Amino acid sequence: MPLHFLAGQPAPQSLLVNLNELEKAYYETKPDTSNPAQLAAFGTSGHRGTSLDGSFTESHILAVCQAICDYRQSKGYTGPLYLGKDTHFLSAPAQKTALEVFAANGVNVIYQENDGFTPTPVVSWLILQYNKLRQEIADGVIITPSHNPPSDGGIKSNPPNGGPADTDVTGWIQNKANEYLKAHLNGVKQLPYAAAVSASNVEAINFAKDYIAGLETIIDLQAIADAKIRIGADPLGGAGFAYWEPIAEKYGLDITVVNQKIDPQFSFMSVDRDGKIRMDCSSPYAMQGLVALKDKFDIAFANDPDTDRHGIVVPSVGLMNPNHYLAVAVQYLFTHRNWSGVGVGKTLVSSGIIDKVAADLGLKLVEVPVGFKWFVDGLYNGTLGFGGEESAGASFLRFDGSVWSTDKDGIILNLLAAEILAKTGKDPGVLYQEIEAKFGRSFYTRIDQTTTPEQKAAFKNLTPEKVTATALAGDRVTAKLTNAPGNGAAIGGLKVVSSGGWFAARPSGTENIYKIYAESFKSKEHLEQILAEAKKIVDEALA
Protein backbone atom coordinates (compact mmCIF):
# COMPACT_ATOMS: atom_id res chain seq x y z
CA MET A 1 0.00 0.00 0.00
CA PRO A 2 1.63 3.30 -1.09
CA LEU A 3 2.37 5.98 1.49
CA HIS A 4 -0.29 8.72 1.56
CA PHE A 5 0.93 12.23 0.85
CA LEU A 6 -0.42 13.37 4.24
CA ALA A 7 1.31 10.62 6.24
CA GLY A 8 3.01 12.08 9.30
CA GLN A 9 1.50 15.53 8.75
CA PRO A 10 -0.88 17.32 11.16
CA ALA A 11 -4.46 16.30 10.47
CA PRO A 12 -6.18 18.85 8.20
CA GLN A 13 -9.70 20.09 8.87
CA SER A 14 -10.98 18.08 5.90
CA LEU A 15 -10.20 14.80 7.71
CA LEU A 16 -12.10 15.65 10.91
CA VAL A 17 -15.30 13.71 11.43
CA ASN A 18 -18.61 15.57 11.84
CA LEU A 19 -19.68 14.74 15.39
CA ASN A 20 -23.29 15.85 14.87
CA GLU A 21 -23.62 13.46 11.95
CA LEU A 22 -22.08 10.64 14.00
CA GLU A 23 -24.54 11.14 16.87
CA LYS A 24 -27.56 11.56 14.60
CA ALA A 25 -26.71 8.38 12.72
CA TYR A 26 -26.11 6.46 15.97
CA TYR A 27 -29.67 7.06 17.18
CA GLU A 28 -31.57 7.23 13.89
CA THR A 29 -29.99 4.63 11.61
CA LYS A 30 -31.57 1.20 11.76
CA PRO A 31 -29.35 -1.65 10.55
CA ASP A 32 -30.33 -3.45 7.38
CA THR A 33 -30.30 -7.03 8.65
CA SER A 34 -30.19 -8.39 5.09
CA ASN A 35 -26.76 -6.78 4.76
CA PRO A 36 -24.09 -8.84 6.59
CA ALA A 37 -21.97 -5.70 6.98
CA GLN A 38 -24.65 -4.23 9.25
CA LEU A 39 -25.04 -7.21 11.57
CA ALA A 40 -23.13 -7.69 14.82
CA ALA A 41 -19.76 -9.21 14.00
CA PHE A 42 -17.27 -10.07 16.75
CA GLY A 43 -13.69 -10.22 15.49
CA THR A 44 -10.55 -10.60 17.60
CA SER A 45 -11.55 -7.54 19.66
CA GLY A 46 -15.32 -7.41 19.77
CA HIS A 47 -17.79 -5.71 17.43
CA ARG A 48 -16.60 -2.57 15.67
CA GLY A 49 -18.09 -0.23 13.14
CA THR A 50 -19.37 3.30 12.56
CA SER A 51 -22.83 4.81 12.68
CA LEU A 52 -22.13 6.48 9.34
CA ASP A 53 -22.57 3.19 7.47
CA GLY A 54 -25.03 1.54 9.84
CA SER A 55 -22.53 -0.87 11.40
CA PHE A 56 -22.41 0.64 14.92
CA THR A 57 -25.71 2.11 16.12
CA GLU A 58 -27.95 2.24 19.14
CA SER A 59 -29.65 -0.87 17.81
CA HIS A 60 -26.36 -2.77 17.83
CA ILE A 61 -25.60 -1.83 21.43
CA LEU A 62 -29.12 -2.66 22.58
CA ALA A 63 -28.91 -6.08 20.94
CA VAL A 64 -25.35 -6.88 22.02
CA CYS A 65 -25.90 -5.81 25.64
CA GLN A 66 -29.12 -7.81 25.92
CA ALA A 67 -27.23 -10.79 24.51
CA ILE A 68 -24.52 -10.28 27.15
CA CYS A 69 -27.21 -10.22 29.86
CA ASP A 70 -28.65 -13.46 28.50
CA TYR A 71 -25.21 -15.06 28.41
CA ARG A 72 -24.45 -13.99 32.00
CA GLN A 73 -27.75 -15.46 33.16
CA SER A 74 -27.09 -18.73 31.33
CA LYS A 75 -23.71 -19.01 33.10
CA GLY A 76 -24.98 -17.96 36.51
CA TYR A 77 -22.84 -14.84 36.86
CA THR A 78 -24.18 -12.86 39.80
CA GLY A 79 -21.22 -10.60 40.55
CA PRO A 80 -20.81 -7.11 39.14
CA LEU A 81 -20.23 -6.23 35.51
CA TYR A 82 -17.45 -3.63 35.24
CA LEU A 83 -18.26 -1.22 32.43
CA GLY A 84 -15.60 0.96 30.84
CA LYS A 85 -15.45 3.28 27.86
CA ASP A 86 -12.72 5.09 25.96
CA THR A 87 -12.68 8.58 24.44
CA HIS A 88 -14.04 7.84 20.97
CA PHE A 89 -17.13 9.97 20.36
CA LEU A 90 -19.48 7.01 19.90
CA SER A 91 -18.32 5.46 23.18
CA ALA A 92 -20.33 7.97 25.24
CA PRO A 93 -23.77 7.31 23.73
CA ALA A 94 -22.96 3.59 23.59
CA GLN A 95 -22.21 3.54 27.32
CA LYS A 96 -25.51 5.27 28.02
CA THR A 97 -27.35 2.67 25.96
CA ALA A 98 -25.46 -0.14 27.71
CA LEU A 99 -26.38 1.20 31.14
CA GLU A 100 -30.04 1.37 30.10
CA VAL A 101 -30.01 -2.32 29.14
CA PHE A 102 -27.91 -3.61 32.05
CA ALA A 103 -29.99 -1.70 34.59
CA ALA A 104 -33.24 -2.98 33.10
CA ASN A 105 -31.96 -6.56 33.30
CA GLY A 106 -31.02 -6.24 36.96
CA VAL A 107 -27.29 -6.60 36.33
CA ASN A 108 -25.13 -5.14 39.08
CA VAL A 109 -23.11 -2.80 36.90
CA ILE A 110 -20.23 -0.61 38.08
CA TYR A 111 -18.79 2.17 35.94
CA GLN A 112 -16.32 5.05 36.28
CA GLU A 113 -17.60 7.97 38.33
CA ASN A 114 -18.05 11.46 36.84
CA ASP A 115 -18.78 9.87 33.47
CA GLY A 116 -15.05 9.23 33.14
CA PHE A 117 -12.98 6.99 30.92
CA THR A 118 -11.46 3.59 31.73
CA PRO A 119 -8.47 1.80 30.20
CA THR A 120 -9.10 -1.75 29.01
CA PRO A 121 -6.44 -3.23 31.35
CA VAL A 122 -8.12 -1.63 34.35
CA VAL A 123 -11.35 -3.49 33.60
CA SER A 124 -9.36 -6.74 33.31
CA TRP A 125 -7.60 -5.98 36.61
CA LEU A 126 -10.86 -5.17 38.41
CA ILE A 127 -12.48 -8.41 37.27
CA LEU A 128 -9.53 -10.48 38.46
CA GLN A 129 -9.33 -8.68 41.81
CA TYR A 130 -13.01 -9.22 42.49
CA ASN A 131 -13.05 -12.87 41.47
CA LYS A 132 -9.95 -13.65 43.51
CA LEU A 133 -11.65 -12.61 46.73
CA ARG A 134 -15.30 -13.58 46.28
CA GLN A 135 -17.51 -16.46 45.22
CA GLU A 136 -19.81 -14.32 43.07
CA ILE A 137 -18.52 -14.11 39.51
CA ALA A 138 -17.75 -10.74 37.91
CA ASP A 139 -17.07 -9.91 34.27
CA GLY A 140 -16.78 -6.77 32.19
CA VAL A 141 -17.60 -4.82 29.06
CA ILE A 142 -15.38 -2.22 27.41
CA ILE A 143 -16.76 0.21 24.87
CA THR A 144 -13.89 0.96 22.52
CA PRO A 145 -12.76 0.44 18.92
CA SER A 146 -9.14 0.52 20.13
CA HIS A 147 -6.91 2.68 17.90
CA ASN A 148 -9.45 2.88 15.07
CA PRO A 149 -10.36 6.22 13.41
CA PRO A 150 -12.48 8.78 15.32
CA SER A 151 -15.64 7.84 13.43
CA ASP A 152 -15.60 4.30 14.81
CA GLY A 153 -17.19 2.67 17.82
CA GLY A 154 -16.66 -0.71 19.41
CA ILE A 155 -17.78 -3.00 22.21
CA LYS A 156 -16.06 -6.06 23.65
CA SER A 157 -16.77 -8.51 26.44
CA ASN A 158 -14.24 -9.66 29.01
CA PRO A 159 -15.35 -12.82 30.87
CA PRO A 160 -14.48 -13.79 34.45
CA ASN A 161 -10.89 -14.65 33.53
CA GLY A 162 -10.41 -10.97 32.73
CA GLY A 163 -9.17 -11.43 29.19
CA PRO A 164 -10.65 -10.94 25.74
CA ALA A 165 -13.52 -13.36 25.29
CA ASP A 166 -12.82 -16.55 23.36
CA THR A 167 -14.73 -17.43 20.20
CA ASP A 168 -17.20 -19.68 22.04
CA VAL A 169 -18.32 -16.65 24.05
CA THR A 170 -18.20 -14.05 21.26
CA GLY A 171 -19.93 -16.42 18.85
CA TRP A 172 -22.80 -16.96 21.31
CA ILE A 173 -23.18 -13.22 21.97
CA GLN A 174 -22.91 -12.34 18.28
CA ASN A 175 -25.56 -14.86 17.20
CA LYS A 176 -27.97 -13.87 19.97
CA ALA A 177 -27.47 -10.17 19.21
CA ASN A 178 -28.27 -10.75 15.55
CA GLU A 179 -31.42 -12.62 16.55
CA TYR A 180 -32.52 -9.51 18.43
CA LEU A 181 -31.64 -7.25 15.49
CA LYS A 182 -33.63 -9.41 13.07
CA ALA A 183 -36.55 -9.43 15.54
CA HIS A 184 -36.54 -5.60 15.57
CA LEU A 185 -35.21 -5.68 19.16
CA ASN A 186 -38.21 -7.57 20.47
CA GLY A 187 -37.20 -8.94 23.89
CA VAL A 188 -34.60 -6.28 24.63
CA LYS A 189 -35.12 -4.67 28.05
CA GLN A 190 -34.33 -0.97 28.43
CA LEU A 191 -34.84 1.75 31.04
CA PRO A 192 -34.71 5.51 30.43
CA TYR A 193 -31.17 6.75 31.11
CA ALA A 194 -32.13 8.82 34.19
CA ALA A 195 -33.80 5.79 35.74
CA ALA A 196 -30.88 3.55 34.84
CA VAL A 197 -28.16 5.61 36.52
CA SER A 198 -30.27 6.03 39.66
CA ALA A 199 -31.16 2.34 39.88
CA SER A 200 -30.02 0.45 42.99
CA ASN A 201 -28.06 -2.05 40.88
CA VAL A 202 -25.97 0.66 39.16
CA GLU A 203 -22.95 2.19 40.92
CA ALA A 204 -20.32 4.73 39.86
CA ILE A 205 -16.91 4.56 41.58
CA ASN A 206 -13.30 5.58 41.06
CA PHE A 207 -11.68 2.74 39.11
CA ALA A 208 -8.22 4.30 39.07
CA LYS A 209 -7.34 4.38 42.77
CA ASP A 210 -6.88 0.66 43.49
CA TYR A 211 -5.30 -0.11 40.14
CA ILE A 212 -2.70 2.62 40.64
CA ALA A 213 -2.05 1.40 44.18
CA GLY A 214 -1.38 -2.08 42.82
CA LEU A 215 1.29 -0.99 40.34
CA GLU A 216 4.03 -1.38 42.95
CA THR A 217 3.41 -5.15 42.84
CA ILE A 218 4.51 -5.38 39.21
CA ILE A 219 6.85 -2.44 38.46
CA ASP A 220 9.88 -1.25 40.47
CA LEU A 221 8.57 2.29 40.80
CA GLN A 222 11.03 3.16 43.56
CA ALA A 223 13.93 2.46 41.21
CA ILE A 224 12.40 4.81 38.62
CA ALA A 225 11.95 7.53 41.23
CA ASP A 226 15.45 7.08 42.66
CA ALA A 227 17.02 7.25 39.19
CA LYS A 228 15.11 10.49 38.52
CA ILE A 229 14.05 9.29 35.07
CA ARG A 230 12.48 12.14 33.10
CA ILE A 231 9.34 10.71 31.49
CA GLY A 232 7.06 12.12 28.80
CA ALA A 233 3.59 10.56 28.55
CA ASP A 234 1.17 11.07 25.67
CA PRO A 235 -2.25 9.45 26.17
CA LEU A 236 -3.11 10.35 22.54
CA GLY A 237 -6.36 11.79 23.84
CA GLY A 238 -7.30 8.44 25.35
CA ALA A 239 -8.54 6.87 28.57
CA GLY A 240 -5.07 6.89 30.13
CA PHE A 241 -4.96 10.67 30.45
CA ALA A 242 -6.42 10.58 33.99
CA TYR A 243 -3.88 8.00 35.18
CA TRP A 244 -0.41 9.40 34.55
CA GLU A 245 -0.49 12.38 36.90
CA PRO A 246 -1.92 10.36 39.82
CA ILE A 247 0.75 7.69 39.19
CA ALA A 248 3.45 10.37 39.22
CA GLU A 249 2.11 11.90 42.43
CA LYS A 250 1.73 8.62 44.33
CA TYR A 251 5.17 7.23 43.45
CA GLY A 252 7.21 10.42 43.17
CA LEU A 253 7.88 10.05 39.45
CA ASP A 254 8.95 12.81 37.09
CA ILE A 255 6.20 12.42 34.49
CA THR A 256 5.13 15.20 32.15
CA VAL A 257 1.83 14.60 30.35
CA VAL A 258 2.70 16.24 27.04
CA ASN A 259 -0.85 16.19 25.67
CA GLN A 260 -3.86 16.60 27.93
CA LYS A 261 -6.39 17.21 25.18
CA ILE A 262 -9.56 15.15 25.07
CA ASP A 263 -10.96 15.82 21.61
CA PRO A 264 -13.30 13.23 20.04
CA GLN A 265 -12.23 14.44 16.60
CA PHE A 266 -8.60 13.71 17.57
CA SER A 267 -7.63 16.83 15.64
CA PHE A 268 -4.19 16.93 17.32
CA MET A 269 -3.08 13.67 15.68
CA SER A 270 -0.67 13.23 12.82
CA VAL A 271 -2.08 11.38 9.84
CA ASP A 272 -1.31 7.66 9.59
CA ARG A 273 0.41 6.09 6.60
CA ASP A 274 -2.86 5.52 4.67
CA GLY A 275 -4.18 9.08 5.04
CA LYS A 276 -6.52 8.34 7.96
CA ILE A 277 -6.53 9.63 11.51
CA ARG A 278 -5.71 6.60 13.61
CA MET A 279 -4.47 6.63 17.21
CA ASP A 280 -1.92 3.88 16.64
CA CYS A 281 0.92 4.31 19.11
CA SER A 282 3.09 1.87 17.13
CA SER A 283 2.89 3.91 13.92
CA PRO A 284 5.79 6.33 13.27
CA TYR A 285 3.41 8.47 11.22
CA ALA A 286 0.68 8.76 13.86
CA MET A 287 3.32 9.27 16.56
CA GLN A 288 5.12 12.23 14.97
CA GLY A 289 4.14 14.57 17.81
CA LEU A 290 5.81 12.50 20.53
CA VAL A 291 8.77 11.43 18.38
CA ALA A 292 9.60 15.12 17.95
CA LEU A 293 10.04 15.36 21.74
CA LYS A 294 12.33 12.33 22.09
CA ASP A 295 15.38 14.34 23.17
CA LYS A 296 13.47 16.20 25.90
CA PHE A 297 12.95 13.06 27.99
CA ASP A 298 14.90 10.01 29.07
CA ILE A 299 11.88 7.88 28.13
CA ALA A 300 8.68 8.92 26.39
CA PHE A 301 5.67 6.76 25.68
CA ALA A 302 2.12 6.79 24.39
CA ASN A 303 -1.01 4.68 24.48
CA ASP A 304 -3.99 4.19 22.19
CA PRO A 305 -7.45 5.42 23.30
CA ASP A 306 -8.30 2.39 25.45
CA THR A 307 -4.70 2.23 26.74
CA ASP A 308 -4.08 -1.43 26.02
CA ARG A 309 -1.22 -0.75 23.56
CA HIS A 310 2.12 0.89 24.13
CA GLY A 311 4.48 3.02 22.05
CA ILE A 312 8.01 3.55 23.36
CA VAL A 313 10.09 6.56 22.27
CA VAL A 314 13.77 6.69 23.27
CA PRO A 315 16.62 9.10 22.47
CA SER A 316 18.69 6.32 20.87
CA VAL A 317 16.29 5.33 18.08
CA GLY A 318 13.09 7.38 18.36
CA LEU A 319 9.94 5.24 18.22
CA MET A 320 10.84 1.61 18.84
CA ASN A 321 9.51 -1.07 16.54
CA PRO A 322 7.00 -3.04 18.68
CA ASN A 323 8.80 -6.31 17.97
CA HIS A 324 12.09 -4.82 19.14
CA TYR A 325 10.61 -3.64 22.41
CA LEU A 326 8.95 -7.02 23.03
CA ALA A 327 12.34 -8.71 22.64
CA VAL A 328 13.93 -6.28 25.11
CA ALA A 329 11.06 -6.71 27.56
CA VAL A 330 11.40 -10.51 27.48
CA GLN A 331 15.16 -10.38 27.98
CA TYR A 332 14.86 -7.89 30.86
CA LEU A 333 11.93 -9.46 32.68
CA PHE A 334 13.33 -12.97 32.68
CA THR A 335 16.65 -11.78 34.05
CA HIS A 336 15.17 -9.35 36.64
CA ARG A 337 12.22 -11.33 38.02
CA ASN A 338 12.38 -14.41 40.23
CA TRP A 339 9.76 -16.33 38.30
CA SER A 340 10.06 -20.08 38.19
CA GLY A 341 8.93 -22.45 35.45
CA VAL A 342 7.12 -19.87 33.34
CA GLY A 343 7.26 -19.46 29.58
CA VAL A 344 7.11 -16.73 26.95
CA GLY A 345 4.03 -16.28 24.80
CA LYS A 346 4.17 -14.65 21.36
CA THR A 347 1.93 -14.54 18.31
CA LEU A 348 3.32 -16.45 15.34
CA VAL A 349 3.58 -13.21 13.34
CA SER A 350 5.83 -11.58 15.93
CA SER A 351 9.56 -11.32 15.28
CA GLY A 352 11.78 -14.40 15.37
CA ILE A 353 14.23 -12.34 17.42
CA ILE A 354 11.95 -13.07 20.37
CA ASP A 355 12.44 -16.78 19.72
CA LYS A 356 16.21 -16.31 19.79
CA VAL A 357 16.10 -14.35 23.06
CA ALA A 358 13.88 -17.00 24.66
CA ALA A 359 16.11 -19.83 23.47
CA ASP A 360 19.21 -18.06 24.76
CA LEU A 361 17.58 -17.79 28.19
CA GLY A 362 16.44 -21.42 28.12
CA LEU A 363 12.77 -20.44 28.20
CA LYS A 364 9.79 -22.34 26.86
CA LEU A 365 8.33 -20.44 23.89
CA VAL A 366 4.59 -20.70 23.27
CA GLU A 367 3.69 -19.48 19.77
CA VAL A 368 -0.03 -18.87 19.22
CA PRO A 369 -2.36 -17.46 16.53
CA VAL A 370 -3.02 -13.74 16.22
CA GLY A 371 -5.14 -12.40 19.08
CA PHE A 372 -4.40 -11.72 22.73
CA LYS A 373 -7.11 -14.16 23.85
CA TRP A 374 -4.60 -16.97 23.29
CA PHE A 375 -2.46 -15.72 26.20
CA VAL A 376 -5.29 -15.45 28.72
CA ASP A 377 -5.10 -18.92 30.25
CA GLY A 378 -1.29 -18.85 30.53
CA LEU A 379 -1.25 -15.48 32.26
CA TYR A 380 -4.22 -16.42 34.44
CA ASN A 381 -2.68 -19.63 35.75
CA GLY A 382 0.86 -18.29 35.87
CA THR A 383 2.40 -20.61 33.26
CA LEU A 384 3.24 -17.66 31.00
CA GLY A 385 5.38 -14.94 32.52
CA PHE A 386 4.86 -12.74 29.48
CA GLY A 387 2.49 -12.63 26.52
CA GLY A 388 3.00 -10.20 23.67
CA GLU A 389 1.82 -9.57 20.14
CA GLU A 390 3.35 -7.79 17.17
CA SER A 391 0.80 -4.96 17.30
CA ALA A 392 2.28 -3.48 20.51
CA GLY A 393 0.14 -5.26 23.05
CA ALA A 394 1.46 -7.26 26.01
CA SER A 395 1.08 -8.11 29.68
CA PHE A 396 3.15 -9.95 32.26
CA LEU A 397 3.05 -11.30 35.81
CA ARG A 398 3.58 -9.54 39.12
CA PHE A 399 6.87 -9.83 41.00
CA ASP A 400 5.51 -12.82 42.92
CA GLY A 401 4.49 -14.66 39.74
CA SER A 402 0.74 -14.09 40.17
CA VAL A 403 -1.57 -12.70 37.53
CA TRP A 404 -1.85 -8.93 37.00
CA SER A 405 -4.06 -8.56 33.93
CA THR A 406 -5.13 -10.99 31.24
CA ASP A 407 -5.70 -8.29 28.67
CA LYS A 408 -3.10 -6.07 27.06
CA ASP A 409 -1.81 -3.38 29.45
CA GLY A 410 -0.12 -0.37 27.90
CA ILE A 411 0.43 1.27 31.28
CA ILE A 412 2.71 -1.42 32.70
CA LEU A 413 4.59 -1.86 29.41
CA ASN A 414 5.31 1.88 29.36
CA LEU A 415 6.42 1.94 32.98
CA LEU A 416 8.56 -1.12 32.35
CA ALA A 417 10.57 0.90 29.81
CA ALA A 418 11.36 3.41 32.56
CA GLU A 419 12.26 0.60 34.98
CA ILE A 420 14.58 -0.91 32.38
CA LEU A 421 16.41 2.40 31.99
CA ALA A 422 16.56 2.92 35.77
CA LYS A 423 17.93 -0.57 36.51
CA THR A 424 20.30 -1.02 33.54
CA GLY A 425 21.31 2.56 32.78
CA LYS A 426 20.45 1.93 29.12
CA ASP A 427 17.30 2.83 27.24
CA PRO A 428 15.46 -0.06 25.53
CA GLY A 429 16.67 1.08 22.11
CA VAL A 430 20.28 0.61 23.15
CA LEU A 431 19.46 -2.79 24.63
CA TYR A 432 17.87 -3.88 21.38
CA GLN A 433 21.01 -2.86 19.51
CA GLU A 434 22.89 -5.20 21.83
CA ILE A 435 20.41 -7.99 21.06
CA GLU A 436 21.00 -7.46 17.34
CA ALA A 437 24.74 -7.47 17.86
CA LYS A 438 24.38 -10.90 19.50
CA PHE A 439 21.77 -12.54 17.28
CA GLY A 440 22.01 -10.62 14.01
CA ARG A 441 19.74 -8.04 12.41
CA SER A 442 16.10 -8.64 11.65
CA PHE A 443 14.19 -7.09 8.75
CA TYR A 444 10.45 -7.23 9.38
CA THR A 445 7.40 -5.86 7.58
CA ARG A 446 3.68 -6.28 7.04
CA ILE A 447 1.89 -5.52 3.78
CA ASP A 448 -1.69 -5.81 2.54
CA GLN A 449 -2.36 -7.80 -0.63
CA THR A 450 -5.63 -7.41 -2.56
CA THR A 451 -7.66 -10.59 -2.95
CA THR A 452 -11.16 -11.83 -3.74
CA PRO A 453 -13.91 -12.99 -1.38
CA GLU A 454 -13.44 -16.50 -2.81
CA GLN A 455 -9.73 -16.49 -1.98
CA LYS A 456 -10.46 -15.19 1.52
CA ALA A 457 -12.85 -18.07 2.08
CA ALA A 458 -10.27 -20.52 0.74
CA PHE A 459 -7.88 -19.61 3.58
CA LYS A 460 -10.07 -21.73 5.88
CA ASN A 461 -9.26 -24.82 3.84
CA LEU A 462 -5.50 -24.38 3.69
CA THR A 463 -3.35 -27.31 4.74
CA PRO A 464 0.46 -27.64 4.80
CA GLU A 465 0.18 -30.15 1.95
CA LYS A 466 -1.14 -27.45 -0.36
CA VAL A 467 2.23 -25.67 -0.15
CA THR A 468 4.49 -27.28 -2.71
CA ALA A 469 7.43 -24.90 -2.37
CA THR A 470 10.57 -26.46 -0.91
CA ALA A 471 12.58 -23.22 -0.73
CA LEU A 472 11.89 -19.65 0.33
CA ALA A 473 14.11 -16.89 -1.04
CA GLY A 474 16.98 -19.31 -1.55
CA ASP A 475 16.68 -21.14 1.78
CA ARG A 476 15.21 -24.56 2.46
CA VAL A 477 11.68 -24.51 3.88
CA THR A 478 11.74 -25.99 7.38
CA ALA A 479 8.08 -25.64 8.37
CA LYS A 480 4.68 -25.14 6.77
CA LEU A 481 2.08 -24.25 9.38
CA THR A 482 -1.68 -23.80 9.37
CA ASN A 483 -1.89 -24.44 13.11
CA ALA A 484 0.09 -22.66 15.82
CA PRO A 485 2.88 -24.78 17.30
CA GLY A 486 2.27 -23.45 20.81
CA ASN A 487 -1.31 -24.64 21.23
CA GLY A 488 -2.34 -26.39 18.02
CA ALA A 489 -5.03 -23.80 17.28
CA ALA A 490 -5.84 -22.96 13.66
CA ILE A 491 -4.12 -19.74 12.60
CA GLY A 492 -6.69 -18.86 9.96
CA GLY A 493 -3.95 -18.70 7.38
CA LEU A 494 -0.48 -19.96 6.58
CA LYS A 495 3.06 -19.60 7.89
CA VAL A 496 6.13 -20.78 5.96
CA VAL A 497 9.49 -20.85 7.74
CA SER A 498 13.05 -21.21 6.44
CA SER A 499 16.47 -20.90 8.04
CA GLY A 500 16.77 -17.35 6.70
CA GLY A 501 13.32 -15.98 7.42
CA TRP A 502 9.58 -16.60 7.26
CA PHE A 503 6.27 -15.24 6.10
CA ALA A 504 2.70 -15.60 7.32
CA ALA A 505 -0.52 -14.75 5.48
CA ARG A 506 -4.00 -14.35 6.89
CA PRO A 507 -7.14 -12.69 5.50
CA SER A 508 -8.70 -9.49 6.78
CA GLY A 509 -12.02 -9.89 8.51
CA THR A 510 -13.53 -6.78 6.92
CA GLU A 511 -11.75 -6.02 3.65
CA ASN A 512 -10.90 -7.95 0.48
CA ILE A 513 -7.23 -8.14 1.37
CA TYR A 514 -4.93 -10.56 3.07
CA LYS A 515 -2.08 -9.52 5.28
CA ILE A 516 1.44 -10.77 4.69
CA TYR A 517 3.86 -10.62 7.60
CA ALA A 518 7.46 -11.34 6.71
CA GLU A 519 10.88 -11.32 8.30
CA SER A 520 14.40 -11.84 7.00
CA PHE A 521 17.46 -12.46 9.10
CA LYS A 522 19.71 -11.48 6.19
CA SER A 523 18.89 -8.18 4.47
CA LYS A 524 16.20 -5.84 3.15
CA GLU A 525 16.73 -7.27 -0.30
CA HIS A 526 16.18 -10.78 1.05
CA LEU A 527 12.98 -9.57 2.75
CA GLU A 528 11.70 -8.24 -0.57
CA GLN A 529 12.45 -11.61 -2.14
CA ILE A 530 10.49 -13.37 0.64
CA LEU A 531 7.53 -11.06 0.02
CA ALA A 532 7.57 -11.65 -3.72
CA GLU A 533 7.69 -15.43 -3.29
CA ALA A 534 5.10 -15.35 -0.50
CA LYS A 535 2.48 -13.92 -2.86
CA LYS A 536 3.11 -16.73 -5.37
CA ILE A 537 3.09 -19.43 -2.70
CA VAL A 538 -0.18 -18.18 -1.20
CA ASP A 539 -1.92 -17.78 -4.57
CA GLU A 540 -0.90 -21.32 -5.59
CA ALA A 541 -2.04 -22.79 -2.26
CA LEU A 542 -5.41 -21.03 -2.52
CA ALA A 543 -5.99 -22.05 -6.14
Point out the residues that are catalytic.
146
Neighbours of 543 (CB within 10 A): 8
Q: Where are the beta strands (DSSP E) in 144-192?
A: 152-158
Torsional sign, CA 369, 375, 381, 384: positive
C-alpha angle 247/248/250, rounded to 5°?
65
Nearest to 521 by CA among 535, 498, 493, 501: 501
Q: H-helix or E-strand containing 498?
A: strand 490-498
Do the Cβ atoms of 358 and 330 come closer than 8 Å? yes
**Phi and psi at residue 338, to the nearest 5°:** -95, 50
Q: What share of the chain is helix, strand, coil (3-state, %, to 5)?
A: 40, 20, 40
Do the Cβ atoms of 347 and 369 come closer than 8 Å? yes
Q: H-helix or E-strand containing 131?
A: helix 120-133
Cα separations (Å) of 435 from 301, 424, 543?
21, 14, 40
Nearest to 95 by CA among 36, 34, 141, 160: 141
